[in-house]
A and B are shown apart, each in its own frame.
Chain A
């Protein structure tokens, strides 16, 4: 139990490592669109094996980017954006936020059909 919790305690290295993989970012994108997905639902529409998805989700959970809730026999997955927000607050000072947001909005407006909206 102790070792398990040790792995759960998040730090920046774990967050960056977890994000440094396109498959894991895809899983996070899915959870951003819709939270509360079971493992089976997470595996849908992916060319990843169930085993690979399980492994990626464990890494994301260890980085505290995904949190799970038990519902009956199923484990539901949710995106937890708090560690990303902490990184954001660390490097983007309050005076820059307005400008960064303006650039972000401009980029979004120019890429209207981007799947990432």
Chain B
């Protein structure tokens, strides 16, 4: 697939903390700005919603869940469920750091445009959040259509 996006970042942290940061809304709201909600079991649903719970921006299913190593989810806007893509998070250790690979695949051209600016922001902010306890101003200057 040529429409895949792959993002990699190295974080001074542990795989368990990175897993928590991706799956616990208390954390995602701090560096991502929204809640990631699910029980993160294979076959379950997940949603990416505003903190007040009123607006679900992205939703999908859990395809694979192996904490704290690998999480694969489907990704679609509730307004256009047919436009479904897939996100795989791979967490591995590299010396005293954690390597996080995010592969966003099966992307339509429209979704590719929407997420291409978003992931680098989210991952930079996640790194800052885990390393310093402070997230970045993740969405400053961004119109934030897709996430």
* Interfacial residues, chain A to chain B (CB-CB below 8 A): 2, 5-6, 8-10, 34-36, 64, 67, 69, 78, 80-86, 89, 94, 97-98, 101
Judge whether B6 and A82 touch: CB under 8 Å. no
Instruction: Specify which of B95, B120, B136 is in contact with A82 (CB 8 Å cutoff).
Output: B120
Q: How far is the CB of A117 from chain B (nearest CB, A)?
A: 14
Judge whether B124 and A97 touch: CB under 8 Å. no
Instruction: Specify which of A64, A81, A84, A94 is in contact with B10 (CB 8 Å cutoff).
Output: A64
**Can you give 23 contacting A-B residue pairs, CB < 8 Å?**
A2-B95, A9-B94, A9-B95, A35-B2, A35-B4, A35-B5, A67-B8, A69-B4, A69-B6, A69-B103, A78-B6, A80-B6, A80-B8, A82-B7, A82-B8, A82-B119, A82-B120, A82-B124, A85-B124, A89-B124, A89-B128, A94-B141, A98-B140
> Considering only CB atoms, which chain B residue lies closest to A36 in the complex?
B2
DSSP class of A's interface residues: helix, strand, loop or mixed?
A: helix
CB neighbours of B3 from chain A (8 A): 35
DSSP class of B's interface residues: helix, strand, loop or mixed?
A: mixed
Instruction: Report the Cα distance A101→B137, complex, angstroms.
Output: 16
CB neighbours of B94 from chain A (8 A): 5, 8-9
Instruction: Report the Cα distance A91→B31, complex, angstroms.
Output: 19
CB neighbours of A10 from chain B (8 A): 10
> Considering only CB atoms, which chain A residue lies closest to B2 in the complex?
A36
Instruction: Report the Cα distance A10→B33, complex, angstroms.
Output: 26
Instruction: Report the Cα distance A2→B121, complex, angstroms.
Output: 29
